[in-house]
Structure 1
Amino acid sequence: MTKVAFVTGATSGIGRATAFELAKQGYRIIATGRRAERLEELKQELTEVPVYTLEFDVRDKEATQQAVNSLPEDWRQVEVLVNNAGNAHGLSSIQNGSLDDWDAMIDINVKGLLYVSHAVLPLMMQHKKGHIVNIGSIAGKEVYPNGNVYCASKHAVDAISQGMRIDLVQEGIRVSEVNPGLVETEFSEVRFKGDKERAASVYKGFQALQAQDIAEIISFIVTRPAHVNLAEVLVLPTAQAAATILHKQQ
């Protein structure tokens, strides 16, 4: 039976690109997200392999568990889980931060990753194999001005990834983490509340990473031989040296 990859946040950006890239490797794709119309578009466009869609919000632990429980028997042999769903809301100092923004980032980036992993792990453990790839960020390695809670959420992803690797080694399950720098996706539009001009300005003057770049790295990670675990990757555009050090052309 063809191997299965479970990709969260598959309706746009890195998640969508990853679904297409893993399909090239022969994985059947379980694509998840909150936007039904985008999931349907993905299913129509991705014709190389069978695609099964699940519409749910990773912040909702009951809906997450129900979605995974609803998988038909021939879709339950999940070999790869890509925890990609995540967000950034706002860019404010801690004293001016929005409590709603904080909740959104912690609920999606941290709790959502945990809810999905908790639901999917039993499907891997019964076969004593699997590979979890968590999408972190350079923000999980450095804290930058006005990044406070977003950086905290990605530091949590880093710690959870390390903890997962320790706890699951005896289960034969590999855990990897990909930490991108600046990637040009809808991410900044969400952070800046739909302000497209401000979002676009983030990527002006240099060549940012693209979603496809990250998808190809994820594909490389999960196609290593069974005895190899590429535990952690920090990937930056050439113009970026650190979270706040960026060389832009005038």
Structure 2
Amino acid sequence: MAAKPPGTGRRARAGLRLGSIAIVAVVLLGAVAAVVVAHHATDPHSASTSSPTSTSETVTRNGTAAQDENVLAAAPMLQLPAQAAQPQAMTTGSAGPAIAVAAPTITNGRWIPGGFPETPEGALGQLKALNETALASADPQVYALGYRELSEPGAPDPGSTGLTSLLRSMRARAQLPAAGSVTGLTASYLVTHGQVKGAVTASHYVVVCVLGQFSVGFNGEAVAAGVGDCQAMRWSGTGWRIAAGALAAAAPCAWPGSADMVKAGYRELS
């Protein structure tokens, strides 16, 4: 049986000052929408005056490997208005062919599945596995635990990431405890799309981005938004880990399958 993160059995009583489940759903919807704005506002690389980086699988080769890594990670991505993350009509357009992502080969005894190949697609698969597993609790402490478990020394602090901002904002706006499990609160993150921002082959380093539907529920009432996440990853010799160095610039957030998603360069993960 797969190991579970510590502390997931605790149940904290939420001190909600809300009149009904319907009101809770409205508050959570506002929190999820606001998270997109918070994600962009807290990222120093997301200024609207910056030019977005290309989302093609470009290999950088300038200067030292460490310099190339930091430049690649910090290069701003295309940023979309917050409403792009809300449910909207699907499009038949595409930013390119689907990206084949292998299934994990290591699951037994592992909280976060692993065993992905030494390819950019393998890094996408590892980031997908990390985020889908660590966001299921809607708890920033649990996400930080998973993030650190897959990080090499010198990696950015999990508290600086956009997904931590997402979870903190959601809980604060819904008047939930800052951390810990909450009776009736559920969450899921289903990754369906991704892109490879670029790679530094000399140091087995790649920046990858995933996009998925983040859903939050409270006592049966649920809301959702499209949330993206970019991370710098490095091959350790045995697996992919969050790389030391600069924090990757904020990912575009769009509803999966929408025209905004295509505009941001995301491709289906198969």
Q: Under a length normalisation based on structure 1, what TM-score does the superposition of the two structures give?
A: 0.28
TM-score (normalizing by structure 2): 0.27
- Give the helix-richer structure, 1 or 2: 1
